[in-house]
Structure 1
Amino acid sequence: MERVPLESSWIRSAGYDPRTRELELETVSGAVYRYLAVPAREWAALLAAPSHGRYVNLRIKPRYGYRLVTAAR
């Protein structure tokens, strides 16, 4: 999945696959998480959010299941 860099103290990059509705986040520590069944509107809202980390903590983490793709380095 192709990711775009984000200006955040916690998230290095993020990507979204509309076909599978998966949101992928790479943290600054190198961990990669894939959130499942995320609507496209959440991806758009994340990109537009003034604080990407806050958006993930308030809107993504509590609502969508995830799996760890790569552990932190």
Structure 2
Amino acid sequence: MERILVDSSNVVSVGYDENASTLEVEFNSGIYNYYDVPMYIYEELMASGSKGSYLHQNIKNNFSCEKIV
């Protein structure tokens, strides 16, 4: 999955697979996949002023995830 570099202290890059509804986030500590994430969540994340805060408030505890790297 292709990821886009973002300006964040904790998040390096973000990618999204619309067909699989999978959000891929590269943190400083590793890469995680979040599953069954609607497109609007990805769009809101990318538009947010703070990627880390948005992830913490709207994604981390709301979608299943696994560390892939």
Q: Give the TM bin, normalised by the shorter chain.
A: over 0.9
Deviation at 1:50, TM superposition (A): 0.6
Q: Give the aligned CA root-mean-square deviation in angstroms.
A: 0.6
Identity %: 35
> Which residue does 1:61 correspond to in 2?
60
> Which residue does 2:34 correspond to in 1?
35
| Distance in 1 between residues matched to 2:28 and 2:33, nearest whole Å | 15
Structure 1: runs of 5+ lacking an equivalent: none
List structure 1 segments (4+ residues) > 2 angstroms apart after TM superposition: none
TM-score normalised over the length of structure 1: 0.92
Deviations 1:10-60 (A, max 9, x none): 00000000000000000123x000000000000000000010000000000
| Distance in 2 between residues matched to 1:26 and 1:44, nearest whole Å | 17
Amino acid of the residue matched to residue 67 of structure 1?
A: E
| Distance in 2 between residues matched to 1:54 and 1:68, nearest whole Å | 19
Work out whether 1:49 is the aligned partner of 2:48.
Answer: yes
Number of residue-to-residue matches in the alignment: 69
| Distance in 2 between residues matched to 1:28 and 1:41, nearest whole Å | 24
Amino acid of the residue matched to residue 4 of structure 2?
A: V
